[in-house]
Structure 1
């Protein structure tokens, strides 16, 4: 049931963004009753957050190349490519929707952001342990430096979010994060 709902929601998000992912549409696409959906999620935004989280986890595996520079650069590329995709662009809609929905905002922070940030912490700590990354920089700040520009570009739309832009953002961030 959960998989069917999340897959249907991901398809709808890809096809028409958050507006397309209504509980009626998810129910029709997944074959799961609306009552069952509401039994597991308080609203459609929460369903969309879970679907978004699952899709990103499946499509952006965390690299482990043996090099902090390579791992972080590849992860910035992967995240930028994800956010440039039809489902990835929905993140801006989810952020906007959570402004007026405290329950969904908490779910977004707890389930999606906390999990993604933990994966980057693992990359960071491997790099610190190998002596490649600066120990005087907090991992939380490093994550914001590495990935904040991607989210800013997604939300503002002021500049492209392609592979060359991802490489440039990673290079600029890593210039200050790597041990010289």
Structure 2
């Protein structure tokens, strides 16, 4: 489950806000969020995203489904896209955790398998909508990059570090490039739809990447 996160300032967000985000009240300091209410909002958002998609999921619908007021939701998240990102993070934490098996190859294989399962399901199709939305809305792109992508990469970075320490991976390779080689193909397959998102595909990608990196 994702933990409450620090949010960029409203000044930074408003500079590139879309009509959707311009209408969203900024987060304000106040009482700490109730974990039960936060969970209710995340659950409601996840259900709505699967049922009606990203565009039709609104703060009003999330509020009605969760029982948490719209005003309270906007105190904790700046837009529906921020709620969606937290919902995706929560689901990814369950489907694609970062294990520590003692082998970088096995850790990457298990993590990529989980990511493939997420991408190949209903949530993956909605996630693709979020990625598409980010191409034309800088505020959505920042939300996706600074929270979901950054948090996921911080979870898998230790796999690379342990692999280097054990001599499984070359220390001279930029970890950011190495992680792109391993996890980038899954996103490409999700968006292009040219190849399957399966456990077999995940294993083949990791094997090919590790073969090249270990030379």
Q: Distance in 1 between matches of 2:122 and 2:160?
A: 29
- 1:66-145 correspondence to structure 2 within 5 Å: 66-145=102-181
Aligned to 2:62: 26
Q: Distance in 2 between matches of 1:175 and 1:15?
A: 41
* Per-residue deviation, 1:50: 1.4
User: How many pairs were matched up?
Assistant: 179
- 1:46-85 correspondence to structure 2 within 5 Å: 46-85=82-121
Gaps in structure 1 of 5+ consecutive residues = none
Aligned to 1:39: 75
Q: Distance in 2 between matches of 1:119 and 1:35?
A: 32
Query: Secondary structure of 2:92's match?
Result: helix
Q: What TM-score does the superposition give when structure 2 sets the normalisation length?
A: 0.78
The answer to whether the Cα contact below 8 Å between 2:128 and 2:191 also exists between their aligned partners in 1 is yes
Q: Distance in 1 between matches of 2:63 and 2:46?
A: 13
Aligned to 2:34: none
Q: What TM-score does the superposition give when structure 1 sets the normalisation length?
A: 0.92
The answer to whether the Cα contact below 8 Å between 1:76 and 1:147 also exists between their aligned partners in 2 is yes
Gaps in structure 2 of 5+ consecutive residues = 1-36
Q: Distance in 1 between matches of 2:52 and 2:195?
A: 22
Over the aligned positions, Cα root-mean-square deviation in angstroms equals: 1.5
Q: 2:200 aligns with which of 164, 167, 179?
A: 164
* Per-residue deviation, 1:54: 1.7
* Per-residue deviation, 1:18: 1.3
* Per-residue deviation, 1:14: 2.3
Q: Distance in 1 between matches of 2:108 and 2:201?
A: 14
The answer to whether the Cα contact below 8 Å between 2:96 and 2:113 also exists between their aligned partners in 1 is no
**Rg comparison, structure with higher value:** 2
Q: Distance in 2 between matches of 1:153 and 1:104?
A: 21
Aligned to 2:13: none
* Per-residue deviation, 1:155: 0.7
Q: Which has the higher helix share?
A: 1
The answer to whether the Cα contact below 8 Å between 1:17 and 1:87 also exists between their aligned partners in 2 is no
Structure 1 stretch 120-129 or stretch 72-81: which is displaced more? 72-81
Once the two structures are superposed, what CA deviation does each residue of 1:20-41 show, in whole Å capped at 9, x if it has no partner?
Answer: 4222221111011222222222
